[in-house]
Amino acid sequence: MTNILGIIGYPIGHTFSPLMHNTAIKHLGLDYIYLPFEVKKENMALAIGGLKGLGINGINVTIPHKESVISYLDNLDDNARFIGAVNTIKLEDGRLKGYNTDGLGFLKSLKIDAQENAKGKNIIILGAGGAARAIAIQMALEEANSIIIANRTGERGEELAVHINAKCKMQNVKCKVKAISLRDNSLVEYFKKADIIINTTSVGMIDSNTPLFPYNYISDRHLVCDIVYKPIETKLLKEASVRGARFLNGLGMLIYQGSLSFKIWTGHEMPVEIVKKVLMEELTKT
């Protein structure tokens, strides 16, 4: 019987995860198929319960379910528990186990694609959702000097900052984490000190999206990262390029976090270079 994998989120039409995983499956000759499932918040309990009922082997979890999905799972691995968000679920012996590969996927892209390290750096993270949570904690564990969580909703950003500071204390990690509203006039001062800017929101998928902050805050001292991969060059990255900043798109994070999920489900290594070539070909069409 064919093993079923998939991804849940809302909206889901933009995702390249099916192309990525099905390319790897075909290349390795595995009896799997990976499908997208559009799931609204109000249908989460039904959807997660259905994984067991249908015998679906594993799924990825994307916006907006990475945190809320935890309450429907039987257990978590140490990384997902530490982060407080899940992007990968595996059905094991009739139980659903949650994992998080986002932070490690971003870190690998940062090191390989941008040839950059977080250690000692001042970092601004835009957004406070599940991806922000995973990336911020990973950057803290990599001994970043400081992390600023800049979010539209101050309360949500503050909650995340408190969470990360508590985790840093547990691990004896000396990284200063602070939250600030994207509307705060002092944001520009943090940009002047920042080395790395990371957009973890979905702003940028559409070129006409209202900017999260004034682009003239960007300078040539910055590495600007966007976890959005479609389009491959978002408005934020275009503005970074114009201002002489280095930039990193979200394709690497997509592939590296996906390769970790793929190994969890199948036990096989994803053929990363083959997958990257196929995704780049598709992205240049659109």
Confidence at residue 83, expressed as pLDDT on a 0 to 100 scale: 92
* Helix (H/G/I), strand (E/B), else coil: 286: coil
For the chain, what percent of residues have pLDDT higher than 90? 90
What residues are labeled active site? Answer: 66
User: What tokens were used for 18?
Assistant: 């099916």
46 near 36, Cβ under 8 Å? Answer: no
pLDDT in tens, 172-211: 988 999 999 999 999 999 999 999 999 999 888 877 778 9
First to last CA, the chain: 35
Sequential DSSP letters for 27-76:
HHT-SEEEEEEE--GGGHHHHHHHHHHHT--EEEE-TT-TTGGGGG-SEE
Domains within the chain, CATH numbers bracketed: 3-100+253-285 (3.40.50.10860), 103-249 (3.40.50.720)
Q: What sign does the CA torsion over 174, 228, 273, 270 have? A: positive
Average pLDDT score over residue span 255-273? 98
Query: What is the rounded average pLDDT of the residues 33-47?
Result: 96
Provide the pairing of β-strand 176-181 with 122-126.
unpaired
As a whole number, mean pLDDT of residues 61-90 equals: 94
Of 35, 93, 87, nearest to 256 by C-alpha is: 87
Distance CA 156, CA 164 (A): 13
User: Which pLDDT band, with edges at 50, 70 and 90, does 267 fall under?
Assistant: very high
Please give the average per-residue pLDDT across 244-257, as a whole number.
98
Q: Is the pLDDT of residue 231 over 80?
A: yes
Residue with tokens 């909703």: 153
Q: What phi, psi does 159 have (nearest 5°)?
A: -60, -40
Q: What is the pTM of this model?
A: 0.95
Q: pLDDT at position 286, please? A: 56
